[in-house]
Amino acid sequence: MVPLDRGATRPISVAELFTIGVGPSSSHTVGPMRAAHDFAERAIAGERAPRHVRCALYGSLALTGRGHATDTATLLGLAGWLPERLDPDAAPSIVASVRESKRLPLAGTRAIDFDIDADIVFHPRTFLPQHPNGIRFTATYEDGATLEETYFSIGGGAILRFGAPPATHNVAVAHSFSSSAELLARCEETGLSIGALVRANEEAWRSPAESDTFLDSVRDAMSACIDRGIAQEGVLPGGLRVRRRARALHESLSRCGPEHRPAAVFEWVSLWAIAVNEENAAGGRVVTAPTNGAAGVLPAVLRYYEVLVPGATRAGARHFLYTAAAIGMLYKKRASISAAEMGCQGEVGVACSMAAGALAAVLGGTDRQVENAAEIGMEHNLGLTCDPIEGLVQIPCIERNTMGAVKAINAAYLALRGDGSHVVSLDAVIETMRQTGEDMRSQYKETSLGGLAVNVVEC
């Protein structure tokens, strides 16, 4: 792969790590929708009138695109919708209207001819050299001129337009860091905790009060997603006939108190993770944290803190998210959170690491214990493959979030039993994850060409 300029040296805001969008995939649904929206805006920006648009999906976007609703997301983006603005319940009727009329309101303004089956083309055998998640748009104008742009969905809903100037570096944060060693050093120099340091850095974008309000909205969206998932029942879309379990699990657990069930804590945490990821699989509204495929880990561990830890507060929930963001920033800077590059270690593994460090922080851990917890969370997810059956974010993805959440809690308490000193640093485990991802064969990295995706032939 030819490296993309990801702007790894620029500061990252919490608003980049936590975004509110729709399922089922941040890299295969949210990213393509944003890319399509950006292209549509560019296509109508000049004086010429576009008459036709064509989209080509490459590599992982093509191999698992139908299961991840990439074609639907692309259409919606071209029609002027963004993930954070789209009502998931309205999406099917929008798509049905375009399919029936063969007319698309480009950027929500100009109607053009558009045949979903002919104008969204899948190229599963072709991987663009820069990234496994490639998408190319071509607009044709009335005068015969064309506009072509190529985008890459690089994980967590983030996109890069090929050939675009590198991201600007004009944002200066108060306490810059690009490694866990630097992060711990900045905390020691300033006397700030990891979460407080990130909160201070956010002043480069907005006031502390505005950042707190933003994270309150993230927390509320996570909580609402759990509650919605618990309230639903039925079969998830896609053809695997996977039945929603969250509601029945909730009813069962509610009938039996913790004193009668030694594993009740883990069962409740698993329920909360399942509820989120069933909503994600159904195309509902979720928080990308740091991806959609791993969207259930942080909410489940955050609810564990809020419900089961005495003295939990709203401020503590914010501190949880600020700390989690710091850890996520390190993975984005030093490796990747794209399953198409890293396998699921880059999604559930990273979410587990973020949640472990965050929980250790709100349980009173030192910064070094927080770093240790984050390291443990990833160390025992190294090599985790991404091989969704039929390209759907359902099997093993939903249950895998329960494993990530439970493992994060375990990692936090293990770290709190120590003094923060440990052999493997968080930097070392992130680099190991990166190397493992590069060495992992492509069929185990969100292509549905290996593992469970081919060995489970009938569900």
Neighbours of 172 (CB within 10 A): 9
| pLDDT (tens digit per residue) in 141-164 | 999 999 999 999 999 999 999 998
Neighbours of 64 (CB within 10 A): 29
Give the least confident one: 8-22, 269-283, 395-409.
Answer: 8-22
pLDDT band at 165 (very low <50, low <70, confident <90, very high): confident
The residues, any chain, with a CB within 8 Å of residue 66's CB and separated by 6 or more, are 122, 391
What's the whole-number average pLDDT of the chain? 94
SS (H, E, C) 322-382: HHHHHHHHHHHHHCCCCHHHHCHHHCHHHHHHHHHHHHHHHCCCCHHHHHHHHHHHHHCCC
pLDDT band at 435 (very low <50, low <70, confident <90, very high): very high
Predicted confidence (pLDDT) at residue 126 exceeds the cutoff of 80:
yes
pLDDT band at 191 (very low <50, low <70, confident <90, very high): very high
Predicted confidence (pLDDT) at residue 454 exceeds the cutoff of 70:
yes
Give the least confident one: 40-49, 118-127, 344-353.
Answer: 40-49
Q: Residues 309-335: what's their mean pLDDT?
A: 98
pLDDT band at 46 (very low <50, low <70, confident <90, very high): confident
Q: Residues 348-369: what's their mean pLDDT?
A: 98
**225 and 284 in contact (C-beta within 8 Å)?**
yes
**408 and 297 in contact (C-beta within 8 Å)?**
yes
Predicted confidence (pLDDT) at residue 34 exceeds the cutoff of 60:
yes
Q: How many Å apart are CA 419 and CA 310, to the nearest integer?
A: 23
Predicted confidence (pLDDT) at residue 1 exceeds the cutoff of 60:
no
**406 and 456 in contact (C-beta within 8 Å)?**
no
**313 and 445 in contact (C-beta within 8 Å)?**
no
Q: Could you give the angle at the alpha carbon of 221 between the alpha carbons of 366 and 329, nearest 5°?
A: 45
| pLDDT (tens digit per residue) in 245-256 | 999 999 999 987
pLDDT band at 259 (very low <50, low <70, confident <90, very high): low
Going by DSSP bridges, is the β-strand pair 19-22/133-141 parallel, antiparallel, or unpaired? unpaired
pLDDT of residue 7: 55
pLDDT band at 139 (very low <50, low <70, confident <90, very high): very high
| pLDDT (tens digit per residue) in 64-108 | 999 999 999 999 999 999 999 999 999 999 999 999 999 999 999
| pLDDT (tens digit per residue) in 376-422 | 999 999 999 999 999 999 999 999 999 999 999 999 999 999 999 99
Amino acid present at 254 = S
pLDDT band at 48 (very low <50, low <70, confident <90, very high): confident
pLDDT of residue 179: 98
pLDDT band at 6 (very low <50, low <70, confident <90, very high): low
Predicted confidence (pLDDT) at residue 258 exceeds the cutoff of 60:
no
Residues of the chain above pLDDT 70, percent:
96
Q: Residues 299-324: what's their mean pLDDT?
A: 97
Q: Residues 297-325: what's their mean pLDDT?
A: 98
CA dihedral over 22, 25, 29, 31, signed as positive or negative: positive
Amino acid present at 271 = L
pLDDT of residue 171: 87
CA dihedral over 416, 420, 423, 426, signed as positive or negative: positive
Note the pTM of the prediction, 2 decimals. Answer: 0.94
pLDDT of residue 168: 58
Largest Cα–Cα separation, the chain: 74
pLDDT of residue 459: 45
